[in-house]
A and B are shown apart, each in its own frame.
Chain A
């Protein structure tokens, strides 16, 4: 599925959070969205997912507008990994993952043994099968995050929208999630993720977009967008981008902050 965002304005009623946002996302592409805290990345995601009505512009899937899709139709094509919240009732981790099957089963149905198999496979894929019968309210924040990714994959989506999927994960789980994202894109799933770490964009994304002051200020390939000039403009910090050769002769970029010359972002002209 090809996703087309054209001249989108989004926000809450009279309060416009962002405008003139346009980009496309093809099957198997990974788009990494960067931007300072509070710039509206989550609001943009919720607008794409139809949870908030767009103020203007259009969202097209394979050229057709998605404005009138049913919730079920949405959920079969778009998987959503929200920022992990504490659950309210003590459902088990497996039950939470099974909730991802909701759009695939009948209105009055409960998940079948096939759905349970799918959930078990996904728990295994994310390395949390040992948590299956633990209460979702009692596992750690990182484990909840992994469960939410498994839940979104249980939707069998074509587009996966991930809101800071690595935010509360330890280093090992961050790497696991990033490599999972690469694998998903290899299977033709389009992924949009937000992150605060430019290095993650170098690691897993074909394209990077930066939301800054309500607009998609920069968009393109990671090494074109993530430059010292851009990061200074957006975050108000000085960085150097180092190119390194890793084993196997591949080239790789990393972003190194330079502490002495960084300033707070508010003093930007």
Chain B
């Protein structure tokens, strides 16, 4: 409840602040006129700022933050490892390669996003395939190792394209994308990623109890009646879909998927029934605050990936210091 109230407050703040400040009463006026249909009598610029510029951006920050936090929580449980983040199976590296290729071939913004999304899914599919082909090893370890290897490979291809790219037009765009940003997110972007995120989040929430049992490890979960291979496939697919969709509009934003689940677990415990909602609220609130800071702190936009790392590192050390209970 407190989380929810804090999130609402954060939304109001981030609507209000920025290069074009909007007062709270003007905000309430605008929303009321939107709902009731009556003209607000406020300047059109104000309406454009709130509904066309800040609205999509606030929503995108919350959706991306929530999606990354859920994926991180799920992966940490599935791999029984507190150091895991959503990009452990290569989804971010795949998406990065897709986006970088899109920029290199000067595709439009939609082409870049589609390529990022597709390549993110493709990278995880490749990792999963390797994991299932090498059957005689511990399945979880094989998956993680394959993810690391494929991620490194894709990273070097990204490096190659950066080297080949036009240093004046393309390289800044590539660097900007790799550092993450929500600048210029439109309502259409949101509609494009919402289905993928919904398709991802629903099975994860439905399987919340089975995922609790999966944290015991494969053999114990099996002996308790869980079809481990099938559930793992569904969970990986769902979390990957969400992450790929989020990353395709925001670029690479680290730390949220690693950090927020720990914090959520500290607050509500490891039961996914409570952990998932808590992770969504915290992730949404965290990225929204960071993005609000990113666009107001100076005259140029600070890349999100940089800010999340700056805020994330001390925060993570603090969580480590207080949360000996959150994992073994």
Assess whether A90 is in contact with B325, with CB atoms less than 8 Å apart. yes
User: What range describes how many residues of B lie at the interface?
Assistant: 20 to 34
Assess whether A82 is in contact with B226, with CB atoms less than 8 Å apart. no
Q: How far is the CB of A61 from chain B (nearest CB, A)?
A: 16
Assess whether A99 is in contact with B212, with CB atoms less than 8 Å apart. yes
Assess whether B209 is in contact with A105, with CB atoms less than 8 Å apart. yes
**Is A4 in contact with chain B by the CB < 8 A criterion?**
no
**How long is the Cα–Cα vector from A46 to B217 in the complex, in angstroms?**
14
Among A103, A109, A111, contact of B225 (Cβ-Cβ < 8 Å): A103
**Is B303 in contact with chain A by the CB < 8 A criterion?**
no
Q: How far is the CB of A15 from chain B (nearest CB, A)?
A: 12
**Is A262 in contact with chain B by the CB < 8 A criterion?**
no
Binds A, one of B86-94, B97-105, B269-277: B269-277
As a 0/1 sequence over residues 269 to 293 of chain B, the CB contacts with chain A under 8 angstroms (1 = contact) are 1110100000000000000000000
**Is A95 in contact with chain B by the CB < 8 A criterion?**
yes
**How long is the Cα–Cα vector from A74 to B228 in the complex, in angstroms?**
13
Q: B112-128: which residues lie under 8 A (CB-CB) from chain A?
A: none
Main secondary structure of the interface of A (DSSP, over half): loop
Q: How far is the CB of A103 from chain B (nearest CB, A)?
A: 3
Given A89-B215, A91-B212, A110-B273, CB of A102 within 8 Å of CB of B226: yes
**Is B26 in contact with chain A by the CB < 8 A criterion?**
no
**How long is the Cα–Cα vector from A14 to B314 in the complex, in angstroms?**
50
Assess whether B209 is in contact with A87, with CB atoms less than 8 Å apart. no
**How long is the Cα–Cα vector from A127 to B238 in the complex, in angstroms?**
41
Assess whether A109 is in contact with B209, with CB atoms less than 8 Å apart. yes
Assess whether B210 is in contact with A74, with CB atoms less than 8 Å apart. no
As a 0/1 sequence over residues 21 to 59 of chain A, the CB contacts with chain B under 8 angstroms (1 = contact) are 000000000000000000000000010011100000000
Contacts of B269 in A (CB 8 A): 90-92
Q: A50-89: which residues lie under 8 A (CB-CB) from chain B?
A: 50-51, 70-72, 74-76, 78, 80, 82, 85-89
**Is B10 in contact with chain A by the CB < 8 A criterion?**
no
**Is A107 in contact with chain B by the CB < 8 A criterion?**
yes
When C-beta atoms are compared, the residue in chain B nearest to A96 turns out to be B216
**Is A135 in contact with chain B by the CB < 8 A criterion?**
yes
The number of residues on chain A lying at the interface, defined by a beta carbon within 8 Å of a beta carbon of chain B, is 38
Q: How far is the CB of A190 from chain B (nearest CB, A)?
A: 16
Interface centre among B220, B224, B271 (most CB of A within 10 A): B224
Interface centre among A72, A76, A88, A95 (most CB of B within 10 A): A88
As a 0/1 sequence over residues 112 to 148 of chain B, the CB contacts with chain A under 8 angstroms (1 = contact) are 0000000000000000000000001000000000000
Assess whether B326 is in contact with A90, with CB atoms less than 8 Å apart. yes
Q: How far is the CB of A157 from chain B (nearest CB, A)?
A: 10
**How long is the Cα–Cα vector from A237 to B76 in the complex, in angstroms?**
48
**Is B328 in contact with chain A by the CB < 8 A criterion?**
yes
Among B207, B208, B223, B227, contact of A82 (Cβ-Cβ < 8 Å): B223
Assess whether A102 is in contact with B223, with CB atoms less than 8 Å apart. no
Given A90-B325, A91-B271, A99-B212, CB of A108 within 8 Å of CB of B223: no
When C-beta atoms are compared, the residue in chain B nearest to A151 turns out to be B224
**Is A155 in contact with chain B by the CB < 8 A criterion?**
yes
**How long is the Cα–Cα vector from A155 to B226 in the complex, in angstroms?**
12
Assess whether B223 is in contact with A110, with CB atoms less than 8 Å apart. no
Contacts of A86 in B (CB 8 A): 328
Assess whether A89 is in contact with B265, with CB atoms less than 8 Å apart. yes
**How long is the Cα–Cα vector from A102 to B206 in the complex, in angstroms?**
14
Assess whether A102 is in contact with B213, with CB atoms less than 8 Å apart. yes
Assess whether A99 is in contact with B136, with CB atoms less than 8 Å apart. no
**How long is the Cα–Cα vector from A95 to B208 in the complex, in angstroms?**
13
When C-beta atoms are compared, the residue in chain B nearest to A12 turns out to be B136
Contacts of A100 in B (CB 8 A): 224
**How long is the Cα–Cα vector from A109 to B269 in the complex, in angstroms?**
19
Given A87-B328, A89-B77, A90-B326, CB of A95 within 8 Å of CB of B212: yes
**How long is the Cα–Cα vector from A13 to B137 in the complex, in angstroms?**
12
**Is B162 in contact with chain A by the CB < 8 A criterion?**
no
Assess whether A107 is in contact with B273, with CB atoms less than 8 Å apart. no
**How long is the Cα–Cα vector from A51 to B222 in the complex, in angstroms?**
7
**How long is the Cα–Cα vector from A111 to B209 in the complex, in angstroms?**
8
Contacts of B265 in A (CB 8 A): 89
**Is A173 in contact with chain B by the CB < 8 A criterion?**
no
Assess whether A155 is in contact with B327, with CB atoms less than 8 Å apart. no
**Is B52 in contact with chain A by the CB < 8 A criterion?**
no
The 7 closest A-B pairs by CB, nearest first: A103-B225, A75-B225, A89-B270, A80-B223, A108-B206, A72-B225, A110-B209
A and B contact pairs by CB, cutoff 8 A, 25 listed:
A13-B136, A51-B219, A71-B225, A71-B227, A74-B225, A75-B225, A80-B224, A82-B220, A82-B223, A87-B328, A88-B80, A88-B217, A89-B265, A89-B326, A89-B327, A89-B328, A90-B326, A91-B270, A91-B271, A100-B224, A102-B210, A102-B224, A105-B209, A107-B206, A155-B224
Known: A78-B223, A89-B326. 13 other contacts (CB 8 A): A46-B219, A50-B222, A70-B227, A74-B222, A75-B225, A80-B223, A88-B216, A91-B271, A99-B224, A102-B209, A107-B206, A110-B209, A155-B224
Residues of A near any B CB (own CB < 8 A)? 13, 46, 49-51, 70-72, 74-76, 78, 80, 82, 85-92, 95, 99-100, 102-103, 105, 107-111, 135, 137-138, 151, 155
Residues of B near any A CB (own CB < 8 A)? 77, 80, 136, 206-210, 212-213, 215-217, 219-220, 222-228, 265, 269-271, 273, 325-328
